Amino acid sequence: MIKGKVVVITGASSGIGAATTRRLAKQHAKLVIGARRLERLEELKNELPNEEIVTKQVDVTKKEEVQTLIDTAVEKFGRVDVLYNNAGVMPVNALANKAYDEWQQILNVNVMGVLNGIAAVLPTMIKQKSGQIIATDSVAGHVVVPNLAVYNGSKFAVRAIFEGLRQEQHNNGIRTTIVSPGSVATELYNSINNPENKKAEIKFEKEVGLHADDIARTVEFAIDMPENADVNEVIVRPIKQDI
């Protein structure tokens, strides 16, 4: 049952994060949503005036800001039932292009951002002896393709981290879930700096991509499972996606 659960979502200003916020709000969850674009969070909150939603500007690469996000949830609602680590970037580039800045950004957001979330919320969940930590992974965390090697590496890393987290914390009643989407029509393409790769991604998403709400439905399903059931990994591809 989702009603009344305290759910923290990062990367909530658009795409999957915003869709998940809308879906869980309809189930009357208590939401603390974070992203860099505070104005977008406020717009989302205003869409749902009858629900309990707290907004907070947060950059997931800054551990102090992530900790403040979790602390805000505890101060406001007394607990954290779910942390959804959703923020991510997806630059597309060949290794030969030596895109050092992109590589660092991928590692900072996709890997350290997730670790910052885990580190911030674990003490609370261990104390509660309950909770669920979720991350948006990717089909790219299961299958390697050209021009996505570093992104692939970040998403494989999240899979490994979450399996380690499951093994370390399942006896504390903490559930762990990664949701691995294929192509989804979101604003993630904005993190692609290579013009040709960006154009190709937008075209592919438009032609075959899932909707953000398709992934939000999956997150909702994982949260709504009985407390003794732990959905650890889910892959959701568009039916026409090859890999």
The encoded tokens of residue 231 equal 């959905």
The encoded tokens of residue 1 equal 């049952």
Choosing from 84, 100, 151, 189, the catalytic residue is: 151
What count of Cα atoms within 13 Å lies in the side-chain half-sphere of residue 195?
Answer: 0
User: What single letter denotes the amino acid at residue 192?
Assistant: I
Q: Please, are residues 163 and 116 in contact by the beta-carbon 8 Å criterion?
A: no
Quickly list H helices, the chain: 15-26, 38-47, 63-77, 100-106, 113-128, 149-169, 195-208, 212-223
For residue 151, indicate whether it is catalytic.
yes
Distance CA 158, CA 86 (A): 12
Catalytic residues: 151
